[in-house]
Amino acid sequence: MKKTLIAGILGGLVAFVWSAVIHMLPATGQLGLSMMNEPEPAVLAILKSNLSQPGLYFFPGMDLTKARTKEQEDAWTAKYKAGPSGLLLYHPNGAEPMEPKQLVIEFFSTVLCGLIAAFMLAATVGSLACRATMVAMLGLFGWLAISVSQWNWYGFPFSFIALDAIDQVIGWLLAGFLMAKIIRPPTTKL
């Protein structure tokens, strides 16, 4: 049990450090992110004067809490087809670009993932490479379940979710090797 906990914490630390590195590299850190450049001041002024609540805004908007008539559905579909459409993650008030609280939450959530993977490894037989690959598959599973859906349904740029794949699969493969090295496969008794 002690080795499993240590392996989970260390595996989470490895995945956390890998994620930090891959997101800070100039070649990969900005993948899928676009800058507004010249229109930014005008767009920000419009947002500031028209949106006061933080949120994830879908546009063109549709009130999903009420039933819509066929005419309302058709009007919304026409607006969507005409464009623009998208998601806007909006925070009306300023904040630090990277607050310690964000790093703490990310660290602990990654360590919790490491602990889940470690407890799975503790019950898994196989070679070191096989068990490490199993942990990488957990990263692949998370990527397929979340990032690919965001690309498919919301139009996230493919390069953005490709960075997620690099982050999750390689990060958890590295963590998996460390955890599989620490946690010996269970022995079966006949």
Average pLDDT over residues 133-143: 96
Q: At what angle do helices 171-182 and 100-122 cross, to 10 degrees?
A: 50
Q: What's the whole-model pTM score?
A: 0.84
115 belongs to a structural domain? yes
189 belongs to a structural domain? no
146 belongs to a structural domain? yes
Name the DSSP class of 155: -
Q: Is the pLDDT of residue 38 over 90?
A: no
How many domains does the chain divide into?
1
b vs e for 109-146, b when ≥16 Cβ sit within 10 Å of the residue's Cβ? Answer: ebbebbbebbbbbbeeeeeeeebbbbbbebbbeebeee
pLDDT reported for residue 187: 74
Structure tokens at 41: 């001041």
Scan for tokens 């990263």, then name that residue.
139
pLDDT reported for residue 189: 57
What residues have CB less than 8 Å from 7, skipping those under 6 apart?
114, 118, 121, 178, 179, 182, 183
Average pLDDT over residues 32-51: 90
78 belongs to a structural domain? no
- Greater model confidence, 186 or 175: 175
pLDDT reported for residue 162: 94
Domain ranges, residue 24 = 2-32+97-182
12 belongs to a structural domain? yes
Scan for tokens 């490895």, then name that residue.
14
Average pLDDT over residues 6-20: 95
**Which tens digits make up the pLDDT trace of 62-105?**
888 889 999 999 999 999 999 999 998 999 998 888 899 999 99
85 belongs to a structural domain? no
pLDDT reported for residue 30: 86
168 belongs to a structural domain? yes
What residues have CB less than 8 Å from 148, skipping those under 6 apart?
161
Scan for tokens 């019950």, then name that residue.
123
**Which tens digits make up the pLDDT trace of 153-177?**
999 999 999 999 999 999 999 999 9
Q: Is the pLDDT of residue 15 over 90?
A: yes
- Report d(CA 75, CA 147) in Å as an integer: 30
pLDDT reported for residue 94: 83
SS3 content of the chain, % helix, strand, coil (to 5): 65, 5, 30
111 belongs to a structural domain? yes
pLDDT reported for residue 29: 84
